[in-house]
Amino acid sequence: MQVQRAQGTEDLYGPYMRSWLKVQHVAGRLFNSYGFDLIETPVMEQVDTFVHGIGESTDVVRKEMFRAVSGAILERVMENGSEKGLKARQRLALRPEGTAGVVRAVVEDNLCPPGSSPVKFWYASPMFRGERPQKGRLRQFHQIGTEWIGAPDPAADAELIILLMNFYYELGFKPEDLVLRINSMGDDSCRPTYRETLRKFLMDDEEMYASLCDDCKVRAEVNPMRSFDCKNPHCQELMVDAPLLKDCLCDECKEHYAQVKKYLDQVGINYIEDPTLVRGLDYYTRTVFEVECPKAGVGAIGGGGRYDKLIEICGGKSTPGIGFAVGFERIYLALQELGVDLAGDEIGCVYVACAESHLRDKVFEITHALRSAGVRTECDYQARSLKSQFKQADKLNAQVTVIVGSDELSRDVVTVRDMQSHEQVEVPVADIATYITSN
Ligand code: HAM
């Protein structure tokens, strides 16, 4: 039987891996200049972390979360026919996104007590969602994200959006390749009234309610704003006439949103105001945003927003928060579509070629000396002919080949061949590492 990778997962190696490393490298440098520190939270969290954090009624929690069960617990679940009776700590899931875990860590370790300075984290990690795999939609994918906890100021919203856009530009996108949409989701003082208005819009007209898709019938009751995201053409048509939150925002939310837009205008970031942008996660308040690369056709390449209630919901003291995450695989596909090479050149090396088999020990010695000096070094392990060693050196992208031959060794030198110009020089064996590292 030939083993296969799990559906919707990918292996990262070669140019794909170099691209992932490049994206992390650019993020590390740029995010550092904004004061963000790297965090790695566990891939696995208690289910409750996501249920409370992301929201019980979201598709991510209801339909897409991968549950993680140890063998012993699985037996119990099979016997009982359900998870009933399991303790919270036994109910685990693979993280579908990064925010809930970071917020859990901030609350659990009290990293941002009231009155303290904001904390800023970034991450580059695999996420898991049980979605139907297609181009740009995977079951294991990689997000690069930031979370900024403790900053209510609208300047933080604007700065984070500016950071996000600069990140795309540094990766090779041009401003004209991207569409940034923004919206305000209101807060506890204006959203409940709006939700009720929207619920009535969806439910009061019996005929209209009956025509909604099954999902929207549930959404209408539980979380009517989710209906703006419905993919059913009939529901989309009905939602065109739906009341909009922007007309119901309280004065504070209106002012906060106006300030965010003012800062974005000030630095010349283009955006489209989209009053139907609600995002797929329940924790958002006030500013939300999403970025697409329309030419790529892979959906959103990033998104985020403010979550001023989340820390309290997760058991902390009332503390504001804001963040974003981008999807690496979608960025990779989009840049490919735009003809931008993210991977860069293959890494080079030095190849140590063995001209006569009895010199194998000398090749071992020189290879060891070069590696000890930090040089990526390869040689032959299959007793190949000199000709096929040269071919292998080319394949391995060797810039230089060190040829070990008995004639040269009798004079205590080796031949160093530049693989591009084919120029050759003789270098004393004792000086080879110094010669390679200084040329
Ligand atoms: P999200 O919009 O669910 O937000 O995901 C962020 C990005 O992850 C998406 O824009 C997309 O590029 C990528 N992505 C999502 N699902 C998939 C998938 N199945 N396959 C490939 N890529 C995918 C969040 O996750 C929030 N935690 C962002 C955030 C951080 N909000 C505040 N802080």
Q: What is the pLDDT of residues 156-181, one digit of tens each?
A: 999 999 999 999 999 999 999 999 99
Mean pLDDT over each residue of the chain, to the nearest integer: 96
Query: Is there a contact between 49 and 100 (Cβ–Cβ < 8 Å)?
Result: yes
- Provide the whole-model pTM: 0.94
Q: Is the CB of 129 under 6 A from ligand 1?
A: yes
Instruction: Please give the number of the atom of ligand 1 that sits closest to the Cα of 290.
Output: 10
Binned at pLDDT 50, 70 and 90, residue 271 comes out as very high
Q: Is the CB of 329 under 6 A from ligand 1?
A: yes
Instruction: Please give the number of the atom of ligand 1 that sits closest to the Cα of 96.
Output: 25
Going along 185-312, which residue ranges are E strands? 272-273, 285-292, 300-306
Cα 79 to chain center, whole Å?
38
Instruction: Please give the number of the atom of ligand 1 that sits closest to the Cα of 129.
Output: 19
Q: Is the CB of 101 under 6 A from ligand 1?
A: no
Which of the pair, 376 or 62, is modelled with greater confidence? 376
What are the tens digits of pLDDT across the range 74-102? 998 898 888 888 999 999 999 999 999 99
pLDDT above 90 for 44: yes
What pLDDT score does 58 carry? 85
Q: Is the CB of 325 under 6 A from ligand 1?
A: yes
Pick from 94, 123, 173, 156: which is nearest to 289 by CA?
A: 156
Instruction: Please give the number of the atom of ligand 1 that sits closest to the Cα of 323.
Output: 33
What are the tens digits of pLDDT across the range 188-235? 999 999 999 999 999 999 999 999 999 999 999 988 998 998 989 999
Binned at pLDDT 50, 70 and 90, residue 280 comes out as confident
Query: Is there a contact between 288 and 278 (Cβ–Cβ < 8 Å)?
Result: yes
Which SS3 state, helix, strand or coil, does residue 57 take? coil
Kindly give the distance from the C-alpha atom of residue 92 to the centroid of ligand 1, in angstroms, as a whole number: 20
Residue 148 belongs to what H/E stretch?
A: strand 140-149
What pLDDT score does 82 carry? 87
Q: Is the CB of 327 under 6 A from ligand 1?
A: yes
Q: Which of 143, 183, 292 to mutate to test the pocket of ligand 1 (most atoms within 8 A of CB)?
A: 143
Q: What's the order of all strands across the beta sheet hosting 424-428?
A: 377-379, 349-354, 398-404, 413-418, 424-428
What pLDDT score does 83 carry? 85
Amino acid at 102: V
- In sequence order, what are the residues at sequence separation of 6 or more whose Cβ sits closer than 8 angstroms to the Cβ of residue 78? none
- Quote the tokens at residue 120: 């800023």
Pick from 174, 185, 186, 190: which is nearest to 337 by CA?
A: 174
Kindly give the distance from the C-alpha atom of residue 194 to the centroid of ligand 1, in angstroms, as a whole number: 26
Query: Is there a contact between 156 and 117 (Cβ–Cβ < 8 Å)?
Result: no
Residue bearing the CA closest to ligand 1, atom 13: 327
Pick from 338, 26, 359, 19: which is nearest to 164 by CA?
A: 26
Kindly give the distance from the C-alpha atom of residue 97 to the centroid of ligand 1, in angstroms, as a whole number: 7
